[in-house]
A = this chain, B = another copy of it.
Amino acid sequence: MTDDHGDLDTYLERTAAKRLDDYFAFLRIPSISALTEHEDDVRAAARFVADHLRESGIENVEVSETGGHPVVYGDWLHAADAPTVVVYGHYDVQPVDPLELWLRPPFEPSVEGDRVYARGAADDKGQIHLHLWAARAWLAVRGHLPVNVRYVFEGEEESGSVNLDRWLEANVHRLRGDLAVISDTSFFEGNLPAITVGLRGLMYAQIDVTGPKLDLHSGSYGGAVQNPANALVQILGGLKAPDGRVEIPGFYDDVAELTPQERTHLARIPFDEDAFRVGIGVPALFGEPGYTVTERRGARPTLDINGIWGGFQGEGSKTIIPSSAHAKISCRLVPNQEPDVIFERLRERVSELAPPGVNVSLRLHSGGRPSVTPIDHPATQTAARCVLEVFGQEPLYVRSGGSIPVAASFESIAGLPVVLLGFANPDDQAHAPNENMRLDNYEGGLRTIVRYWSALAVLRPVAA
């Protein structure tokens, strides 16, 4: 007999206003993990999650220390003979600058039209919130969950998950299960339901060029010294060819080229290039020659400057040679590139390009490995059926350009297959001003997870 989840849906309808209040309370906590002044806020967000799990009846809840921001762990393991799911999300958020471009304060959530606006509304507090309430609904209405669950909610995803792998390794007993479900991805352009089956990795570094001990008068000293900003642009300009290819020797060596079948599959994904271009607001799309936009976003590596600064940034003119100049740069990686190897190749290239007269240093901020999940895995196919049931559409299988290094960690450390079941709208403006989550995606996501737990229950557990 098929479960129609009517009682659970009724509960969700009845609690709609309460859930929104609770979502807002979570979003009000400015848990920016990259900024040390928000350390207490990150911890407050961890407590919010832990308290929520406990109130619902999740057991063994712990705000677990990592050396940095904590991991919130909790489990419920009473579904005999059912599989065990490790659920991952992150309760920390991106910084909010440029603040002046936000139409509403980033930590004062509001509903406008059919969306909730706030930093973290989609990435990833909103998606943790779906899991919190899916569990609460099951336990409140039925007194049990149809599967065993272990929640691992992280607080350092937006600052490079620097302590997570160590925590996972030390807590491998808490990761015993049959699959990992990560809800930190989004639907496809046009808000088409999608399941992500590939993620890019990341190598994020900073280049610092230092010259004179003080800013110098560009008249009195110009011509006598190397200008750190000129040196920096010379280095950065040498990392990428004008055609968009990365110019670091060996950069493409380990890249798994797309197979003809994969290219055919990606070409089938509906994609309106012109609408995409207009939505971003650029005069033309641009990227590595020889690949489609969809391929370049999901299955090809990149090199981008994320930030650059040095010298005078004010109004008008100031005639100085800056004493230093800096850039943050990152590469999105694809199978089988390794972040550490790419960082070493970058280091060699920067050394080669560094001009005389300045000191150039390079440091790694964070890294994460790429990952790919099989489309035909039963857990993926089961998720797809639940998405179809709730959203009325077969999901697309996409390779996302983003990076969720924990996906690779769950595979390598815990041996778990990973299902990337995310519900954010593709125009969520994650990492940008005016981040938002569509309420229909939120409500549909919640109902999908509620059903997914039932649907997984009939699969045979491999671990116990």
Contacts and interface: CB of A to CB of B under 8 A. Distances in A.
A211 B230 CA distance: 22
A240 interface: yes
Interface residues of A, number: 103
Contacts of A321: 304, 306
A223 B309 contact: no
A46 B196 CA distance: 66
A223 B319 contact: no
A444 interface: no
Interface string A284-322: 111110000100110010111111111111111111111
A122 to B, nearest CB: 11
A390 interface: no
Contact of A300 (B35, B219, B223, B330): B223
B213 A280 contact: yes
A230 B305 contact: yes
A328 B311 contact: yes
A358 interface: yes
Nearest to A212: B280
Mostly, the A contact residues are loop
Given A306-B318, A317-B306, A225 B357 contact: no
B217 A402 contact: yes
Contacts of A287: 223-225
A113 interface: no
- Copy total for this chain: 2
Interface of A: 33-36, 94-95, 97-98, 101, 158-160, 186, 200, 202, 204, 211-227, 229-230, 232-234, 236-238, 240, 242, 244, 276, 280-288, 293, 296-297, 300, 302-322, 325-328, 330, 332, 355-359, 365-366, 400-403, 426, 429-434
A357 B277 CA distance: 10
A261 B131 CA distance: 82
Contacts of A356: 283-284, 286
A318 B238 CA distance: 22
A322 B431 CA distance: 11
Given A212-B281, A222-B332, A233-B305, 8 more contacts: A95-B314, A215-B431, A224-B296, A283-B357, A307-B312, A308-B311, A313-B326, A316-B365
B296 A401 contact: no
13 contacts: A36-B315, A97-B312, A97-B314, A186-B220, A216-B432, A218-B431, A224-B401, A226-B282, A229-B308, A282-B358, A283-B359, A306-B319, A306-B321
